[in-house]
Structure 1
Amino acid sequence: MDLVHALRGPDHRLLPAGGSKTGAAGSHPASRPGKNHQKRPAGAVGTGRKVIHVQIYSPGSHCRRPAAKTSPAADHQQQNLQAAEEERAKRVDALVDELAKRYRDNQISAAAAGDGWTTDRAVSLVFMEVKNSGVSSTEADYILGRVAEKLMNLGRFQVVERQVLDKLMAELKLSSSALADPATALKLGKVLSARVIATGSMVREKRNWLVSLRFIETETTAIKASLSTMMTGTEMAEIADQLAGKVAEKLRHTYPLQAKISSVDGEKAVINIGSQSGVVKGMRFNVLDERDIPLGQVTVTAVGKTESRIQAGKDAVPLVKGMRLREVQ
């Protein structure tokens, strides 16, 4: 509230301007009722011979300050954002209902059909149980959420939203401790169509952060990779960005992009993966023989959604349709 402050004496009466706290009642001329004394109007405060009207703003008051006006365009934008958020919430709820049914009915997603070599989709990942020490749950969620965002911005990783996982567990009445059970974690990962689940720990001691993660394949239940990294900093965003870079590097080495040549035009060719799998212009691939021995390198010159164009290097062997390629590490 905006208040006009006045000096009060021991008896809680308002003192006149320049008056003494120890003066007796009526000791000041202005405090002596005279013959022509007039009753002060409500809301007035006496200070000497003058009358000051005090206006107080309070909730519910008739003199409440008017709300700041917004433009029609801003109101329309806010309404659109609210509608989009409500629509997204509905989609998440519908997805959770479907996933919960699949979990209860044991309808586990099978691996996508392919040729056994080509990386025809982004690697899907879900962060399951990451225990924390010296880090609050809110801080840990923020860091992992930012890591997920950074990974997805690379275009070659898909990360299951934590909100979906939390809602699914609530729907299935599973506590967070249930994720410590490998069988439960793997089953949830498969239901969520995640190729990899990440579990581990996050420990903070002052400025030092130690993060240890294990990356487990849902299809084979094998630990495909592990990461243990020490970072220093006070800003959570900085720690999250460092961790995202280290996780991305580990996953790149663990799951390099693989492709096949689908058509050839001299030293140029087309391969059967594109941006949908994480290919970017300038990326280099090794051309492999039957024993996975590199025969030379090619460079991506143009990228489509499901295919890319490549150019053979000077040391590359003649390109042939069906040749296998693997991303250069």
Structure 2
Amino acid sequence: MSGQLLINEPLSRHTSWRVGGPADRYYEPAGRDDLVDFVRGLPQSEPILWIGLGSNLLVRDGGVRGTVIALHGALEELQRHGDAGIHAEAGVHCARMAKYATGEGLAGAGFFAGIPGTVGGALAMNAGAHGGETWNHVHEVEVLYRDGRSAWLPRSEFRYGYRHVEWPQGMVGFLAARFGFTPDTTGTAAQDMKQWLAKRKATQPVGKPSAGSTFRNPPGDHAARLIESCGLKGLRLGGAQVSELHANFIITDEGALAADVEALIAQVRGVVREKTGIELIPEVRVVGEVA
């Protein structure tokens, strides 16, 4: 094992909300082979949590039992694949892939620039932005099994929908994916991406600790509109606050607790349910134990 293994590592150091208790074990692999060897050596009963940039994730203050594996910084291979495809490992930042694909003269990848996470995380939840979704562009994925085996599986082996993916039995995580896009025949892909990023900067609390969109958009509506219509912009509980810039973002202050964020999520859901009859579904994944 040549990666870095830390014991009782605070996950507040590795999540975009900057909250969260310790992981029993926190592992940063040195590379692909190191990762495979490490997973193969874990007990079959050992829980594994994969993280990339720690976005779209709320770790409770009691921390995570088992092993957390952080891929960002390890699995970062990114290259052209075929005529209009991209091969990206799971630790690649989505924004980096968007810029690379656009620079290669491909259209349809720009929305990845609006996803604040890694390719592995985008695959796990079918992340999307600006009307695009990850799995609409997947051709095949490389997956890892508990015994260290890996295999390339076609998209047809997975069931997916809006912010939801069902994995085949036995796999424990994603190693890489091959995506298909289209040639940028109009020469506008780069400019379109720049416009999306400018809009994101103007309408979202970029630079503030958040996890991206907190709730999924209900069919035919937007979570942000519903939250704002209920007068919840700026609502604060402890160190967590509904952003005054974008109502579907919860931001945190220094010293915030995961319990503050979770309580605020529950309160927003309750008020929106009471006033509109609509049940907001969290987009963020909540893991770990209550302190």
TM-score by length of 1: 0.27
Which has the larger Rg? Answer: 1
The structure with higher relative contact order (CA 8 Å, sep 6+) is: 2
